[in-house]
């Protein structure tokens, strides 16, 4: 069997292989480390961090929908300090890259977190701009091109690490937002975050989630995510980390052919904790079958 080259460089962040796990679905890796070998995963994006610890939303936090789920966790996390003191060393045991997913209420909070993490042992910072912007009526940072420009440019200045910007799919024109992100100095773009979704309990006549709506993830949104990855890849030259409903090898290869340099597995971990490893092997099999020696030759290799 040929030796395949699976290493991929996300513009300054080199992964052993293109399989990563998505923020918020993997905690800080502890639980899944009891089930699978984390050394086999290219990178782990940790649970979204905030400056201060957060207890997250009250009441029911999840409702399943056809081939999807809506979550309303509300960024429950132990805060950036706890992460630095307790989680980094644990994750460093494994030969995988650490991506710190950061979340702010204000641009200032984002910058503070980027600055703090710049001096810590993480490999990349993932700026999650789907957070509600406290100063702008709670609309997500990532839905307004002007605010995207401002937050990315300021965080870029504060951040000495590899910087990924994670885009919200709840927008009219993802291309414009991706272009701005690139212009302001992001090293890589990840997408998509969850889509706004809702479900109602028809018997007690309330939304299942206390916050009314939440974020839809899983196979249901895959076609939408794939289209957005394709669109973004067509307008930027920085690498794209694709995600949104990827559950099996075919899904992952679709994203890679559409232009993703690497993929993240999120919701699929819940139904199949082996998904990242199965997909990694599946991509290798596919490469062998079609005579690819270097994974990089697969990226964006659509024949239109």
Ligand X SMILES: Cc1cc2nc3c(=O)[nH]c(=O)nc-3n(C[C@H](O)[C@H](O)[C@H](O)COP(=O)(O)O)c2cc1C
Q: Is 131 a catalytic residue?
A: yes
CA angle in degrees (0–180, nearest 5) for 96-97-98: 120
User: Per rule CB under 8 A, is residue 92 in the interface with its own copies?
Assistant: no
Please say whether the beta carbons of 54 and 76 come within 8 A. yes
Residues 19-58: x where in contact with ligand X by CB under 6 A, - otherwise, as a string: ---xxxx---------------------xx----------
Residue 86 DSSP label: I
Q: Which of 134, 200, 235, 302 contacts ligand FAD by CB under 6 A?
A: 200
| Distance in angstroms (rounded) separating the CA atoms of residues 228 and 165 | 15
Q: Which of 7, 227, 281, 296 contacts its own copies by CB under 8 A?
A: 227
Task: Output 181 or 269, the one with its CB closest to another protein.
Answer: 269
| Cis bond upstream, residue 295 (ω within 30) | no
Q: Tell how far CA 253 is from the center of its chain.
A: 17
Angle between helices 249-257 and 275-289 (to 10 degrees): 60
Task: List Cα–Cα distances, 69 to 151, 216, 263, in angstroms.
Answer: 29, 6, 20
**CB 106, min distance to its own copies, A:** 21
- Among another protein, ligand X, its own copies, none, the one that 33 touches (CB under a kind-dependent 5 to 8 A) is none
- Among its own copies, ligand FAD, ligand X, none, the one that 237 touches (CB under a kind-dependent 5 to 8 A) is none
| Distance in angstroms (rounded) separating the CA atoms of residues 254 and 30 | 30
* Span 247-276, contacts to ligand X by CB under 6 A: 266-268
Give the interface segment with ligand FAD, choosing from 100-108, 201-209, 237-245, 265-273 (CB under 6 A): 201-209
Task: Output 115 or 179, the one with its CB closest to its own copies.
Answer: 179
| Distance in angstroms (rounded) separating the CA atoms of residues 125 and 241 | 13
Catalog residues that contact ligand FAD under the rule CB under 6 A: 200-203, 250, 254
Tell me the catalytic residues.
131
């Amino acid at each position: 069997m040929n030796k395949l080259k699976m290493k991929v460089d996300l513009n300054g962040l080199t992964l052993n292989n293109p399989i990563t796990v998505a923020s918020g679905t993997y905690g800080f890796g502890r639980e899944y480390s009891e089930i699978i070998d984390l050394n086999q995963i290219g990178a782990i994006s940790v649970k979204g961090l905030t400056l201060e610890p957060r207890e997250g939303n009250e009441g029911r936090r999840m409702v399943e929908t056809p081939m999807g789920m809506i979550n309303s966790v509300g960024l429950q996390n132990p805060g950036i300090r706890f992460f630095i003191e307790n989680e980094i060393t644990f994750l460093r045991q494994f030969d995988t890259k650490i991506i710190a997913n950061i979340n702010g209420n204000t641009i200032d909070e984002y910058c503070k977190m980027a600055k703090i993490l710049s001096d810590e042992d993480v490999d990349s910072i993932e700026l999650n701009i789907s957070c509600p912007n406290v100063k702008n009526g709670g609309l997500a940072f990532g839905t307004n091109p002007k605010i995207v420009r401002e937050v990315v440019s300021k965080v870029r200045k504060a951040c000495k690490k590899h910087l990924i910007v994670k885009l919200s799919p709840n927008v009219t024109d993802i291309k414009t937002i991706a272009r701005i992100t690139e212009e302001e100095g992001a090293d890589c773009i990840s997408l998509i975050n969850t889509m706004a979704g809702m479900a109602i309990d028809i018997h007690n006549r309330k939304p299942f989630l206390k916050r009314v709506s939440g974020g839809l993830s899983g196979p249901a949104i895959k076609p939408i995510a794939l289209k957005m990855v394709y669109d973004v890849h067509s307008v930027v030259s920085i690498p794209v980390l694709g995600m949104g409903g990827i559950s099996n090898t075919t899904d992952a290869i679709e994203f890679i052919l559409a232009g993703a340099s690497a993929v993240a597995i999120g919701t699929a971990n819940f139904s199949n904790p082996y998904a990242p490893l199965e997909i990694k092997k599946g991509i290798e099999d596919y490469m062998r079958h079609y005579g690819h020696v270097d994974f990089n030759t697969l990226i964006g290799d659509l024949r239109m």
